[in-house]
Amino acid sequence: MDTESPRTIILVGALGSFEIMSIANYCDRLHRSGLTELTLNMSAVTDCHRSGLDGLRALAAGSSNMAVSVAGANWGQFTTLLRTAPILDVQDLCDAVRALVQSAPPSVVDTASGHAVA
């Protein structure tokens, strides 16, 4: 196996618990082979579930014993998660998504006034 660091994996489709478990196992194999850095490119992810978000955060925090960075994340990948979350969880989820996404969150427009809501 080529162990040149860093390596990029492009994630495609929905990202849930099964996918995160598979990615974590693969990270462990890469680390055992000598890889020290990995980038997970999310640009082709269509929907990120709660378990996907939690798993990405854990990997980026070092749970795989290697430096994992997340690239290509955008707010649209988390729309379903944020829309269906209990209201008490939304702020914490937004903070978690914001840590992965490089751009500002989309503004919400009040349809009655046409003004952005902070």
DSSP state of 6: P
77 in a structural domain: yes
Question: Residue 52 in contact with residue 22, Cβ under 8 Å?
Answer: no
**What value does the mean pLDDT take over residues 1-9?**
67
**What value does the mean pLDDT take over residues 73-97?**
95
63 in a structural domain: yes
For 67, the domain range is 7-117
Question: Residue 85's pLDDT is what?
Answer: 95
1 in a structural domain: no
62 in a structural domain: yes
pTM of the model: 0.81
2 in a structural domain: no
Cα atoms in the 13 Å half-sphere on the side-chain side of 50: 10
* Chain mean pLDDT for the chain: 86
| pLDDT per position as a tens digit, 49-68 | 999 999 999 999 988 888 99
pLDDT range class, residue 117, cuts 50, 70, 90? very low
* Structural domain total, the chain: 1
